[in-house]
Amino acid sequence: MTIPTETIDLAAVRADFPALHREVDGCPLIYLDSAATAQRPQSVIDAELAFVTGANAAVHRGAHTLAAEATDLFEDARATVAGFVGAAPEQLVWTSGATAALNTAAYAIGAAGLVREGDEVVVTEAEHHANLIPWQQLASRTGAVLRHIPVHEDGTIDVSAAASVISSRTRVVAFAHVSNVLGIVNPVADLVALAHGVGAIAVMDACQSAPHLPLDLPGLGVDLAAFSGHKMLGPNGIGALYGTAELLDALPPVFTGGSMVTTVTLETAEFLPAPHRFEAGTQPVSQAVGLAEAVRYLDRLDMGAVHARERMLEQRMREGLRGIDGVRLLGDADAERIALCAFAVDGVHAHDVGQFLDARGIAVRVGHHCAQPLHRRFGPAATVRASAGVYTTEDEIDALIDAVGAVRGYFGAA
Amino acid sequence: MTIPTETIDLAAVRADFPALHREVDGCPLIYLDSAATAQRPQSVIDAELAFVTGANAAVHRGAHTLAAEATDLFEDARATVAGFVGAAPEQLVWTSGATAALNTAAYAIGAAGLVREGDEVVVTEAEHHANLIPWQQLASRTGAVLRHIPVHEDGTIDVSAAASVISSRTRVVAFAHVSNVLGIVNPVADLVALAHGVGAIAVMDACQSAPHLPLDLPGLGVDLAAFSGHKMLGPNGIGALYGTAELLDALPPVFTGGSMVTTVTLETAEFLPAPHRFEAGTQPVSQAVGLAEAVRYLDRLDMGAVHARERMLEQRMREGLRGIDGVRLLGDADAERIALCAFAVDGVHAHDVGQFLDARGIAVRVGHHCAQPLHRRFGPAATVRASAGVYTTEDEIDALIDAVGAVRGYFGAA
Amino acid sequence: MGDLDQLYQELILDHARRRVGSGLAPAEGLSADHHERNPVCGDEITLRVRVDGDRIRDVSWEGEGCSISQASASMLSQLVTERAPLPRNEASALIDGFRTALRSRGTMELDEDVYEDAAALTGVSKYTARVKCAMLAWVALEAALAALDG
Amino acid sequence: MGDLDQLYQELILDHARRRVGSGLAPAEGLSADHHERNPVCGDEITLRVRVDGDRIRDVSWEGEGCSISQASASMLSQLVTERAPLPRNEASALIDGFRTALRSRGTMELDEDVYEDAAALTGVSKYTARVKCAMLAWVALEAALAALDG
Ligand SMILES: Cc1ncc(COP(=O)(O)O)c(C=O)c1O
Ligand SMILES: Cc1ncc(COP(=O)(O)O)c(C=O)c1O
């Protein structure tokens, strides 16, 4: 990293996030659940508010001034968010979130006949359910076979196993850029090369990378990618499906309705080109405008600086947790990572750990984090996950480590 | 109507809607495009804001205080919105809007095998594309036949034709409660009786009724219904699919992912009962909270009073427009209606009419209003649609009539 | 006593460790099993109820989960088994009352005379996210009893 | 002149009525047709370009739509046909310039010496929702020319 972490003025950043300044049970909130949903800066809240009180109208539909203003804002937002991931505006389809984006991808690929009986769809063992079940369902709809790439004990993808799982029968390889449990940046170049080597579509779940790393989707070479606004300082209810122009043009729409058609008769409908073809119905316009402001905010911080700072937090968190007796980290590889750790505490159930931390104002997530197969692979049914955001301080990481250190004593497990 | 319209204090209502107080080209905004999207009262904006700055967290997932608070708010919102349409909380599935709800219904009905090759799906000629194309697609996926119920010249549904179109082969009858072009309340009891008489599923698009009439979905007897938050004073990006308990339980999920499963392995997934089964991924929680406040706002106004006031506005608008030379109303039946008129102006294209009105600050919608088949049936490819909301005044209706009266002169068509 | 200590009373942590009734009793005579799972955290329980006509002989269970869910299963087993033979309708009433109190968001208390050790779970009702943990065994017993009728 | 009168200049309303070039010319010699539609409002146009080698002989059209789209088709037809035989690359340059100006959100003007009557459409660029109306015929001509090459 060449960018010094000092470029981020953390006090100023924290002042921008109103939700951080509340208390929980009399303790100041320490929000370490950003991987589930991130808090939003005031400028994102204001952008939505300005839209709702000023230009609120349906887009692409009216001649009146409000509608024209709304349409301009909506398409400007598309260009801004597309630019943030290195893409052209036409490559960015708005969805209600990453889950909708991945489901849309799976249904469209199936409807286009790109996956058929006997074909294979490949996922990794570390996927979030949102990048697993839609492919299971696609396989069961089409008669295809779902196969998986295992992960090593240290949490990294087994690339040599991937090379043997991916074969000439493979039509889709779906993987996370960064797992939401392991926090490790996956070897995208290798996976894309393997997929493209057999003519398969590479689908990337960018939910946990988009908020934390500089992201260049065309540069990574993936064919489709998905991310969610609420994890990257933006509003809930908005996300995107990115695609190469060729693939988006080849895919049929999944949900149909208003604003995505040319000619409609009672019998048939013709559809607009991408991206509008995939955007049926009234769009989440204020949310798109809010997400555009969120990525502008991230751009102002500079994603290189964000990433550099996160590496520092990540090391502090991982080292600190690793040093606590009876704490076991899931996937402890010294790979490139985001500041996220999932761990189990010997003799204390994750739910109890979470409750204990909550009593100190520390918000973490407990459970399987929508990755049951990965948990099964590593043992515990539930873990505790702490995840940082752009607003997380070193002190907050230290408070986490301190609290986790006290857990076993409290529950009589030490 | 027994409820006097005086129960609504219009000045107070208007003061609640910040977006109404802007100017367009130096004229005060006259917003007559509520059927496309309604403006929101400050209390809805505040409810979302309070959530976003206070309890912002993912729901049904964490043990921490924020997550617990968010979950409570989310489920309370479900109960509130369900109650508004006479339903139990478990009967209300959150979706991103009516389009997503109707598509979910169509995919789920197909996946459940409730529509198969040779079966018939029936829609009306007056449907919005969102309640037409998903059924076309279902028919083409399954090999079923799509049939339609015609409308009379006065815009009312041809119930006797419906009785012959609906047959023992019919599996689904889909219709709007109120058409978004004609504004006429459809004979729901007749259509439901015909559908149920042959064992078909009755699906109702309640987009244009939910904001304007007291709505009792179980009382109407429909099996499924859909509506959108942004048309009923609520936020964008939220809507609902209502269903009877039996049918929702029989339908499989459409989009899959996190928070809608019990046990997931790499090979298969088991799903939660309804409604959660249909709610994959991070939910639009702030929007649900906002929509709950919107229906509380409507409840405070009293939907009986809202409806009574709308009838008055509707008569004023329709009579006024009807009296203008060269203006032709689509579907001019003296039926029960909402305050919405679509019309064509002889010799002046709808787009030009819209532009002319916009220059006077009057926001209407022009085009086919996502109902191309209905427009084809009535002639003009595009019409002008004026639609009122709870905040619309008599003066605004009069300004519309006045302006429409001047259109043909301006364009030299009179 | 802080809120946390109120939730994790010594009695609860103790039951979570002792796990009264854990280990399924042999399925002699009339019995019914039910498996229940909390999808949020993956906690699960298999509960066995053995009956004599319309009276419950005992409740045994096997499961994994947080201290609240384990303690609650232990307390339930102890409560029912100590009162054996307990009429099934009384067990149902106990379950209903327990559910009502736990869903009360801290506004109702469990009566110690009726619920014995399980009354210590009153504090859970303030933590809506944990109510499911405390309910797990009770819901399983309800389902097992229903299975006997079905 | 108010904004609306600026948009609907007499020249525009006049072209919308006269519809220069409306009625498709017979498809003699080398010609290409293109049908273009504005999905928002349903406006449509079928445009025919007749060429001699790489020069355009004339442009004729048939269509329905708002006064802006009709006037624009009329003006385009007049502009191209008056300059016939117009080299195809010059027509492409005209189309590009027209698009750029119309997308400029009111920041660029169409040169009257170059665009003649069509320069009156400059005012449309302030109305982003109407830019598609004004572009309809021009996009159709572009597509028809491309079809000749394809
Ligand atoms: C890696 C990953 N993929 C997919 C998702 C699903 O995103 P959403 O719930 O916003 O649709 C999440 C977050 O829950 C995630 O962390
Ligand atoms: C009658 C009707 N049905 C369905 C819809 C679609 O609703 P949405 O665009 O909010 O999904 C609309 C509004 O556009 C409508 O008016």
CA neighbor of A64 nearest in space, from D67, B32, B390: B32
* pLDDT at position D90: 95
Q: Show which of residues 29-48 on chain A sit within 8 Å of chain B, judged by CB atoms.
A: 29, 31, 33, 36-37, 39-40, 45
pLDDT tens, B54-66?
766 666 555 677 7
A370 included as an active-site residue: yes
Q: Which of B127, B180, B215, B236 to mutate to test the pocket of ligand 2 (most atoms within 8 A of CB)?
A: B180
User: What residues contact residue A356 under an 8 Å CB cut-off, 6+ apart?
Assistant: A403, A406, A407, A410, A411, C4
Q: Are B37 and B231 in contact (CB under 8 A)?
A: yes
Active site residues of B: 370
Residue D137: which of D54, D11, D21 has the closest Cα? D21
B314: left (phi over 0), alpha (psi -120 to 50) or beta: alpha
Confirm if A375 and C89 have CB atoms less than 8 A apart. no
- Give all chains having 3 or more CB-to-CB distances under 8 Å with chain D: A, B
Residue D142 belongs to what domain range?
3-148
Say if residue B5's pLDDT is above 60.
no
Q: Which residues of B62-85 are buried (b: 16+ CB within 10 A; e: fewer)?
A: bbbbbbbbbbebbeebbebbbbbb
In contact, C111 and C122? CB cutoff 8 Å: no
Which residue among A238, A256, A358 sits closest to B134, beta carbon to beta carbon? A256
Least confident window among A47-56, A303-312, D71-80: A47-56
* Total number of domains constituting chain D: 1
D8–B368 C-beta distance less than 8 A:
no
Q: Residue B398, Cβ neighbours under 10 Å: how many? A: 13
The rounded distance, in Å, linking the Cα atoms of A380 and A375 is 6
Q: How many angstroms separate the alpha carbon of residue A181 from the centre of ligand 2?
A: 38
Please write the tens of the pLDDT for every residue from B75-123: 999 999 999 999 999 999 999 999 999 999 999 999 999 999 999 999 9
Q: What is the pLDDT of residue A91?
A: 98
Give B102 Cα–ligand 2 centroid separation in angstroms.
10
CA separation for the pair B398, B317 (Å, rounded): 8
ipTM for the predicted complex: 0.92
Determine the pLDDT at residue A330.
96
Contact A286, A192 (CB under 8 A): no
End-to-end CA distance of chain B: 39
Q: pLDDT tens digits, chain D, 150 residues: what are they?
A: 578 898 999 999 999 999 999 999 998 889 999 999 887 777 899 999 999 999 999 999 999 999 999 999 999 999 999 999 999 999 999 999 999 999 998 899 999 999 999 999 999 998 888 899 999 999 999 999 999 887
Residue B355 to residue D17, Cβ atoms within 8 A:
no
Query: Which pLDDT band holds residue B23 (cuts at 50, 70, 90)?
Result: confident
Per-residue confidence (pLDDT) for residue B222, from 0 to 100: 98
Whether the predicted pLDDT of A33 surpasses 80: yes
Q: What's residue B294's pLDDT?
A: 98
Tell me the longest C-alpha to C-alpha distance in chain D: 46
pLDDT tens digits along A206-225: 999 999 999 999 999 999 99
Single pTM value for the model: 0.94
| pLDDT attached to residue A181 | 98
Q: How far is the CA of A340 from the centre of ligand 1 (A)?
A: 15
pLDDT at A2 over 90: no
Per-residue pLDDT band at A57 (split at 50, 70, 90):
low
Statement: residue A372 has pLDDT above 60: yes
Interchain touch C–D (≥3 Cβ pairs closer than 8 Å): no
Task: Pull the structure tokens for residue B143.
Answer: 């090999």
Looking at residue C19, what is its pLDDT? 95
On the 0-12 / 13-18 / 19+ scale of CB atoms within 10 A, D89 is exposed
pLDDT digits (tens, 9 = 90+) for C116-150: 999 999 999 988 888 999 999 999 999 999 998 87
pLDDT at A1 over 70: no
CB spacing of A71 vs D127 below 8 angstroms: no
Q: What is the mean pLDDT of chain A?
A: 94
Residue A62 CB less than 6 A away from ligand 2 = no
| Closest approach of A401 to chain C, Cα-based (Å) | 19
CATH code at position D74:
3.90.1010.10
Q: What is the pLDDT of residue B151?
A: 97
Distances (CA, A) of A397 to A39, A208, A319, A387: 17, 19, 11, 10
> Does an interface of 3+ CB pairs under 8 Å exist between B and C?
yes
pLDDT at B390 over 80: yes
Residue C39 has pLDDT above 90, yes or no: no
Q: How far is CA B239 from CA B61, B207, B231, B331, in A?
A: 22, 9, 9, 28
